[in-house]
Structure 1
Amino acid sequence: MSVCRSARCLFSKATTGLPKSAPAPATRSFQTTAPRPARRRRPHYPSIKAEELQLLNKAAEATYPKYDTTETTLLEKRYTPDQIAAIKAAETAIDTRDILTQGQRRSDPWLLPYKDDLAEMDPVTDHAEKLSHKDIQGSKTFRYTNPVERDEAITQVAMEQLAKLYPDGVPEELSAEAQADLEDMVGTAMTQAAFDPRAIYTSKNPKAMATMADPRHSIVQPDLPRIENRMMRQTTRLANEEKEDPREKQLLQYMRWTKKQLRGLTIKTLVVHGVVNQTRMGKIRSMYFLTIAGNGNGLLGVGEGKSVEPADGRKQSVMSAIRNMKAIPRYENRTIYGDLEKKVAATRVLLYSRPPGFGLRCQHLIFEMARAAGLQDLAARTPRSRNKMNVIKATWEALVNQKLPDEIARGRGKKLVDVRKVYYGGSVH
């Protein structure tokens, strides 16, 4: 291949002096992709030929025909003119060809009957309609039945119950087992009829009597059918019961708290990492947890836990934090008394009290501890090591071991006065 051949292809378009009627010289493309005008665009929708469209129209008209005069007359007897107009508008808006090509009938067990007008109530999927005494036409007075009326009502109600079991009538010839079943059904029907309201009360208004058998007038909503067996009840009972933790029970006895007080605590795990213990059996890996607990109103605790099982280790740290909770002195229930400093190992924590509205401007570990203790205005610095475990322990010891103004005054033999409290009535503005 010649070296100048590519250059000849490049400069072939730039040649001048050729007449306009002359055809352009052939150029070679440097890429295998076809030019944009020569590409065939993929259609967004499948193309349908005219023959297929005619067949589709015939199939749609055969499957979903339009309403004829007879059907329109039947619809006018059931629906109002506005409803018929809405039905026609819906039929016009839906293209039968789309239903034929895109529609699909459901085959799952929860499908609705397609040819159902939904006029009747389904006892499984529908809730029965509730009616009140205002829906009873005529007199609404009732009275107790006398013995004769009671016997007649019991017989009538029992016959209605048996008619549901034997819609075609009781067979004349029955086997011994069928005869025994029939006797049991008769006894059950008589018992149900004795407790039926129609056997206890009566009224001169037949519509008022019909309301006693109408479930729509019942106060108790009939439940949906359920599977009732011993295994289901046992499973439900075990699922609802809360497994009592012996450590939690012992903690409640130790602190003399209730479960409600224990649930109201703010608990947060701040440090989680794995540790390895070298033994003669080899290296045993476990998880370490450091958790804080507080009630948001002056109590704060720190606890540690370690176990091979993470859930057990965290539970140990939570119980230890709750057990180690101590009271945090708070000035005006919002900040600390003066500036604090505490050093644990190579970590040094500095805490500063701040005026109202300052907020918590400190790192996230001290922020979580201050929020759990109920502090609102606080600033903090950690100028040296920022080891998480040491920061938490130093902050907790600093908050717990605060020196109160009364103790300082008693040690110095002086009298201290809170100016804001004495002269300004504790105003924070």
Structure 2
Amino acid sequence: MAPHNKDEASLRESRVIHINRVAKVVKGGRRFSFTALVVIGDGAGRVGLGYGKAKEVPLAIQKGTEEAKRNLFSVPLTGSTVIHPVMGIAGAGRVMLRPAAPGTGVIAGGAARAILEEAGVHDVLCKSQGSANHINVARATIAGLKALRRPDEIARLRGLDAEEFVPAALLEAYRRTEAGAGASSGSGGE
């Protein structure tokens, strides 16, 4: 199937986080089906999470991928890390994301690591607390990424200029990242 637009062409292959066999108990016994937790991203600040369920594994993955494409959103980055520390909460799962120095790498495990890598975050410190369930951790990571605010957005809310309260180096790195993202999206992707 051909991509619908050039944005979809820049997406990487979907990445399966977890596959689970689930059962529905009926009069004649158990009916088994499969669920798939899937993440998709472009490695440059866009990521989406999907959850699919079907009688067969490939169909569950396909449904999860389609939902992930529908749930794509942009993540504000500063260079190769997140802009500021944030806590994402989903159900009993809590995920803390903290910026890291260049060269640190993605210090995260399981679902959080897959999502952060697909989003294009290369340096981040991540701690999962509470529920260890893959779905809760994945949704909490997504909630944390959605809670990130751009410096200009925070400045507008405070009624100040971004230069007044954002460290100069952080603001410069953010603006460089934004300029690079704008140039690469105009050229048609990877």
Specify the TM-score bucket, using the shorter chain as the normaliser.
Answer: 0.7 to 0.9
Q: Secondary structure at the match of 1:390?
A: helix
Q: 1:323 aligns with which of 57, 70, 73?
A: 70
Q: Which residue of 2 aligns with 1:419?
A: 168
Aligned residue number for residue 18 of structure 2: 271
Amino acid paired to 2:143: E
Contact 2:90 2:143 in 1 (8 A): no
* Residue 395 of structure 1: aligned partner: 141
Are the structure 2 counterparts of residues 257 and 284 from structure 1 closer, same or farther at C-alpha, using a change threshold of 3 Å?
farther
CA distance in 1, matches of 2:141, 2:38: 14
Residues 75, 119 of structure 2: 8 Å contact kept: yes
Shift of 1:322: 2.0
Contact map agreement 2:88 2:147 (CA 8 A) in 1: no
Contact 2:45–2:74 (Cα < 8 Å) also in 1: yes
> Residues 293 and 277 (structure 1 numbering): CA distance in 2 closer, same or farther, change over 3 Å?
same
Q: 1:277 to 1:416 in 2, by over 3 A?
A: same
Instruction: Tell me which residue corresponds to 1:352.
Output: 98
Q: Distance in 1 between matches of 2:112 and 2:93?
A: 13
Cα drift, residue 369 of structure 1: 1.4
Structure 1 residues 422, 361: CA separation in 2 closer, same or farther (over 3 Å shift)?
closer
Query: Structure 2 vs 1, CA of residues 394 and 258 (structure 1 numbering), >3 Å: closer, same or farther?
Result: closer
Q: Give the drift of 1:330.
A: 0.7
Cα distance in 1 between the residues matched to 2:21 and 2:172: 55
SS of residue paired to 1:266: coil
For 1:423 and 1:321, the matched residues in 2 are separated by 32
Partner letter of residue 168 of structure 2?
A: V
Deviations 1:248-295 (A, max 9, x none): 56xx44xx2488x26x51321011111112456653210000000011
Larger of the two Rg values belongs to structure: 1
Residues 49-198 of structure 1: matches in 2 within 5 Å?
none
Report the 3-state secondary structure (helix = DSSP H, G, I; strand = E; otherwise coil) of the residue aligned with 1:293: strand
The 2-side partners of 1:341 and 1:377 are apart by: 17
Q: Equivalent residue for 2:52?
A: 305
Q: Tell me if the contact between 1:266 and 1:372 (Cα under 8 Å) persists in the aligned partners.
A: no
Cα offsets for 1:355-377 (capped at 9, x unmatched): 22221111132222111111111
Q: In structure 2, how many angstroms separate the alpha carbons of the residues matched to 1:258 and 1:415?
A: 32
> Root-mean-square deviation (CA), in Å?
2.5
Amino acid at match of 1:288: T
Provide closer, same or farther for how the CA distance between residues 344 and 326 of structure 1 changes in structure 2, counting only shifts above 3 A. same
SS at match of 2:129: coil
C-alpha separation in 2, matches of 1:423 and 1:317: 37
C-alpha distance in structure 1 between counterparts of 2:54 and 2:172, whole Å: 55
Q: Residues 309, 402 of structure 1: CA spacing in aligned structure 2 closer, same or farther, 3 A cutoff?
A: same
Q: Does 1:339 align with 2:85?
A: yes
Conservation of the 8 A alpha-carbon contact between 2:52 and 2:62: yes
Shift of 1:394: 0.7
CA contact (8 A) 2:78 2:170 kept: no
Q: Could you give the per-residue CA deviations for residues 364-405 of structure 1, whole angstroms, max 9, x where no partner exists?
A: 322221111111110011132211110011101211231222
Whether the 8 Å contact between 2:21 and 2:32 is mirrored in structure 1 is yes
Equivalent residues, number: 172
Question: Is the Cα contact below 8 Å between 2:38 and 2:64 reproduced in 1?
Answer: yes
Distance 1:419 1:402 in 2: 19
Higher relative contact order (CA 8 A, sep 6+): 2
Richer in helix (by share): 1
CA contact (8 A) 1:277 1:283 kept: yes
What secondary structure sits across from 1:312 in the alignment?
helix
Q: Report the secondary structure of 1:350's partner residue.
A: strand
How far apart, CA to CA, are the structure 2 residues paired with 1:343 and 1:293?
20
**Does the aligned pair in 2 maintain the 1:340–1:351 contact within 8 Å?**
yes
What amino acid is the match of 2:169?
R
CA distance in 2 between counterparts of 1:344 and 1:422 reads 30
Counterpart Cα distance in 1 of 2:172 and 2:121: 24
Q: Could you tell me which residue of structure 2 aligns to residue 286 of structure 1?
A: 33
Match of 1:373? Answer: 119
Gaps of 5+ in 1: 1-247
TM-score when normalising by structure 2: 0.80
| Contact kept? 2:98, 2:125, Cα under 8 Å | yes
- Structure ranking higher in strand proportion: 2
The two structures have a TM-score, normalised by structure 1, of 0.37
Question: What is the CA–CA distance in structure 1 between the aligned matches of 2:61 and 2:77, rounded to whole Å?
Answer: 29
